[in-house]
Structure 1
Amino acid sequence: MADTKPWLDPEALQGDDNFLADYGEDMSRTLNLDTWLPENAVEQMMALLKREISDAVNAEDALRSRIRHEVLPLIRGHPGGPQEAGVYSAEPAQFESIYQSLLFAGRVEAVNGSFASYESLPMGITQIGIAIVGYEGTQGTFSQRLFRKEMAEKHNHLLDEVFDCISRRQENSSSTRKAPYSRLARRGIRAYAERAALVDKARAEWRIGQGNPCAYDLLTGSGYQRLLDASLDVLHRLVKRQKKFVFVNPILEDRGWLTLGSALNPGEYTVIETMERFGKQVVGRWQYDAGSRQRVARFVEECCPDILTGVFRTSTRAPPRLFHAHREHVHVAARIAMADSLLRRERGYPLLLDMAEMTCRSVFGEDGFLGLVQDAYSQVGAGLQFFNDSRSRR
C-alpha cells in the first residue's frame, strides 16, 4: 500500500538478528526484567563483568595473532590499494630526528576546537573556539558566537509569527529528529573553522588536525550551501597546496581498520587505502542538488586519491590510532604523529592536539561561558526564569 507507514512495514523491522549477532542473546531475554540484576547484586555484577571482559580480551588476542601473521602481509600489493600500502616500522633514531628538527624546533603546529552551548526559550547561544599551538607556545585563539532565535522582530503578521515560532521551536527540539539543522550547523562550522585555521592561520611547516580531514559534515555542508562551498575551497587548498599535514582520529571510528592496527607492534604503522572510497560513499548517500553533487564528486575525484588512511601504534598500553596524510609525505606525517604521541605513551595520541584542546578549554571554557550568559540574563532583568541547568541523556 502506497501510504504504508514505515513503522508498520514488516520489512522495516529486521534488527532482531543483528541484535543477536552483536550482543549474543535474543532481545526478548534482554527485555525480560526478571533477567536484570537488582541494585545490591554487586558480586554478581563483578563476576559478570570479569567473565565477559576476560572472554572478549582472549578472543581479541586470538584475532590479533591471526591478523598479524595472516592479514597484515596481504596489505602490500592488495588489488585496488594504493602503491604506498603496507606495514612500516619507525625507528627510535627517526623519532629523535623529528623531535629535534621538527616538533621542538617549532615547525609543527596543531589545531583543535571546542564549543559550548546554552539553550533557553528566547534563544540558543553557542560559542565556538579554535586554538593553534606548537611547542613554542600558543600561536593564536579565535572564537565565534552564534545566536539562534526562532522569534524574529518583524511584527508584520504577529499571529502568524507566533505560530511559526512555536512550530519551529517544537521542530528544533523534537526527539524524532536525530540531528536538527542547528546542531549540524554548529558541528559543521567548528569542523570548517579548525581546517580553515590550519590552512590560513597556522604558520608552521607541518600542521596536525583532529579527525577526518574530509569530514562528513564538510562534504555535505551539513545541509548548508555556503558551508559546503567554503569547505570545498579550504579542503582543496589543504590537499593541493599545504600537503604537509596529518590528521589523527581520537575516537573509535573505522573499527575495522583499528582492528588491523591492534595487530601492529609498538613503533609500527600501516597505510591501507585512499579516501576516495569514503568520499564516494558520502556522495552516494547524501541528497545534493545536481550542481552541488557534481562539485563534490569532482572534489572527491581530484583530491581524495591524494589522502591516504592508515593506522599507527605507539604502545601496547595504548590503542591504535587512525591517521590521514597526503601521499607525498605520508611516512614523515605518520612518524610526526607517532613521535608526538610517544610524549604521552599511555594515551598514544598527539600531545599537541591535547594541548590545543586544553587551551580552548582554558580560554573559552564552558563554565566561564555559561556564567557570562547567566549574568547577562540577570543584568537585563530576566532573572532565573530562563535558567537552564538540564543535562541531556547520552
Structure 2
Amino acid sequence: MGGHGRWDDDDEEDLTGDEDFRGSFREELSRTLNLETWAEGLDLQAIMQRYREEIGGAMRKEDQLRSVIRQELLPKLKTRLKAPEGAGLYRMSPEELSAIHDGLLFAGQVEAVNGISVTHETLPLDITQLGIAAIGYGGSAGTFSQRLFRREVTVDAPDPYQEAAAYIEMRQNRSHPGRNGPDSLSRLARRGIRAYAERAILVEKLKAEWRMGQGNPITHELITGSGYTGLLTASLGMLTRLMEEHPRFVFVSARMEDRGFLTMGHALDAGEFVILESMERAGRDILEGWQYDTDGLVLAREFVKKYCHQVVMGLFRASNNAPPRIFYAHVKHAHMAACVAIADSVLRPEQGFPMLLDVAEATCRSAFGEDGFQGLVQDAYAQADVRLQYFNGRKPRR
C-alpha cells in the first residue's frame, strides 16, 4: 500500500496533467510527442553514454537525499502527529537474527501462504483455478514442508438467450477493467476469493506460532466483499479470527510503487526497519469510497473501527543490494514481525524478500501453473468434441 489509499499490489500511479508529466519526465509532453526529437536507428554508444549520465546523476542525488532523510525525517517518526504505538526506526541485531533463524524459522515455527490464479475465458464459460501453497522450513534453509490447496471457480451465463445479446458489451468491458458491470464484478470476486482463501488457510490450516502472507492482510477486496454479501461476511469473520486468535502475523508486499515510501525505504541500512502508520485512515477511505448496502456498511464499519488501528504498516530492508519492502503486522507484535520478515529475507539477499513466500509462489506455479491448467482445459474440450474454436489463440504481448 502506498500513501493512505493503496490497498493492493496492483495499483498504478496516475498522472493527472501536463504539469505532472513535466515534473516526472523533465520535459514538456509536446516535446516527447514530437517525432523530430526521436532518434532514428540504434546508436548504442550514445544510448549508453546517456544512461551513464542519467543513472550517475540520479544516484548522486539519491545519496544526498538519503542522508537528509536519515538525519531529519526518520528521527521524527516517533513524535509526529497520530503516530501509532511503536512508531520509529529500529535495527535488528545479529543476535536477534540468529535467534529467529534457530528458534523460529528453521524450527518450523513460521509458515507462509501464497497463491496464484489462472483463468480460461471463453464465450460459454470462464474457469478459474486457484492454487495455494503453505510452506515452512524443515530444519534448515534448504528443506521445506509443504501443503497444497486447489479450487476451481466457474462463471457461466444463467440465461443464455439474454446473455448472448450482452456479450459484445461484456467483451468491451473486459478490455476496459475500470468499467462497472457483471464481468468486471466477477473478476473482482475472483481476486476476493483468492485473497480470502489465502488468509483463511493461514488462519484455519496452519499450526505455526508465526504466520506469513503476501500483500495487505486486510485488503480492499475483503473489506468490501468485492460486492458480495456472503464474501463480506465470511471475510470479516475470518479477519476477526486472525486479529484475535493469531496476532503473530506478518504480511509483505511484493511491489512498492509509492515513490515517497520507496525513497524513505532506500534510506534504511540492511537490517533496519521503520514502523510508519496504522491502517485506521486507510480503512475509513475504503468505507467512504465503496457503495455498501445498509447491512454491509454496518458490518464493515464495525470491523474498521475495532481492528484497523491495530494493524500497522512499516518498511524494512534486508540487504543493501535489494529494494526495501512494505510489511504489515499487529501493533503488539510489529517489532518481532519485522525481524521475522528480515530474517527470512536475508536468506536471499539479492531479492530482499521472504524466501518462504517465494518458495510458496514457485510451488504454486509448478503445481497449478497456466501450462498445466490449459492442458487440462484443452483435454476437456477435446473430450467434448468442440475442438479449439473457443480458445483465444496466441497470448498477447506483455
Query: Considering the TM-score relative to the shorter chain, is it more than 0.5?
Result: yes
2:272 is equivalent to residue 268 of structure 1 = yes
* Distance in 2 between residues matched to 1:14 and 1:145, nearest whole Å: 39
**Amino acid of the residue matched to residue 126 of structure 1?**
T
* Distance in 1 between residues matched to 2:36 and 2:342, nearest whole Å: 49
- Structure 2 residue aligned with 1:23, among 22, 25, 29? 25
2:111 is equivalent to residue 109 of structure 1 = yes
Name the count of aligned residue pairs: 376
Structure number with the bigger relative contact order (C-alpha 8 A, sep ≥ 6) is 2
Q: State the Cα distance separating 1:291 from its structure 2 match.
A: 2.8
- Structure 1 residue aligned with 2:369, among 365, 369, 377? 365
Query: Which residue does 2:282 correspond to in 1?
Result: 278
2:314 is equivalent to residue 310 of structure 1 = yes
Gaps of 5+ in 2: 1-14, 139-143
Once the two structures are superposed, the pairs formed by residues 38-49 of structure 1 within 5 Å of their partners are 38-49=40-51
Query: Which residue does 1:169 correspond to in 2?
Result: 170
Once the two structures are superposed, the pairs formed by residues 1-394 of structure 1 within 5 Å of their partners are 15-136=17-138, 137-150=144-157, 152=158, 158=161, 160-164=162-166, 166-167=167-168, 169-170=170-171, 172-175=173-176, 177=178, 180-392=184-396
Secondary structure in 2 aligned to 1:384? coil
Q: State the Cα distance separating 1:45 from its structure 2 match.
A: 2.9
**Preserved CA contact (<8 Å) 2:85 2:331:** no
* Distance in 1 between residues matched to 2:124 and 2:133, nearest whole Å: 30
CA, structure 1 residues 109+161, in 2 after alignment: closer, same or farther (shift >3 Å)?
closer
Instruction: Report the structure number with the largest CA radius of gyration.
Output: 1
CA, structure 1 residues 91+376, in 2 after alignment: closer, same or farther (shift >3 Å)?
same
Gaps of 5+ in 1: 1-12
Secondary structure in 2 aligned to 1:220? helix
* Distance in 2 between residues matched to 1:51 and 1:273, nearest whole Å: 37
* Distance in 2 between residues matched to 1:327 and 1:84, nearest whole Å: 8
Q: State the Cα distance separating 1:71 from its structure 2 match.
A: 0.6
CA, structure 1 residues 254+238, in 2 after alignment: closer, same or farther (shift >3 Å)?
farther
**Preserved CA contact (<8 Å) 1:267 1:312:** yes
* Distance in 1 between residues matched to 2:340 and 2:233, nearest whole Å: 31
Secondary structure in 2 aligned to 1:162? helix
For the aligned residue pairs, the C-alpha RMSD in angstroms reads 2.0
* Distance in 2 between residues matched to 1:176 and 1:110, nearest whole Å: 31
* Distance in 1 between residues matched to 2:332 and 2:163, nearest whole Å: 55
* Distance in 1 between residues matched to 2:221 and 2:111, nearest whole Å: 23
* Distance in 2 between residues matched to 1:39 and 1:149, nearest whole Å: 50
Query: Which residue does 1:7 correspond to in 2?
Result: none
Secondary structure in 1 aligned to 2:382? helix
CA, structure 1 residues 83+170, in 2 after alignment: closer, same or farther (shift >3 Å)?
closer
* Distance in 2 between residues matched to 1:220 and 1:48, nearest whole Å: 47
- Give identity over the alignment, percent: 48
CA, structure 1 residues 360+219, in 2 after alignment: closer, same or farther (shift >3 Å)?
same
* Distance in 2 between residues matched to 1:123 and 1:173, nearest whole Å: 14
Q: State the Cα distance separating 1:83 from its structure 2 match.
A: 2.7
* Distance in 2 between residues matched to 1:18 and 1:69, nearest whole Å: 29
Q: Provide Cα deviations, 1:193-218, integer angstroms capped at 9, x if missing partner.
A: 11111101111111001011111121
Secondary structure in 1 aligned to 2:235? helix
**Preserved CA contact (<8 Å) 2:236 2:303:** yes
CA, structure 1 residues 323+115, in 2 after alignment: closer, same or farther (shift >3 Å)?
same
* Distance in 2 between residues matched to 1:178 and 1:105, nearest whole Å: 48
Q: State the Cα distance separating 1:23 from its structure 2 match.
A: 1.6
**Amino acid of the residue matched to residue 222 of structure 1?**
S
* Distance in 2 between residues matched to 1:205 and 1:21, nearest whole Å: 47
TM-score, length of structure 2 as denominator length: 0.89
CA, structure 1 residues 161+342, in 2 after alignment: closer, same or farther (shift >3 Å)?
closer
**Preserved CA contact (<8 Å) 2:111 2:356:** yes
TM-score, length of structure 1 as denominator length: 0.90
* Distance in 1 between residues matched to 2:198 and 2:40, nearest whole Å: 46
* Distance in 2 between residues matched to 1:191 and 1:37, nearest whole Å: 46
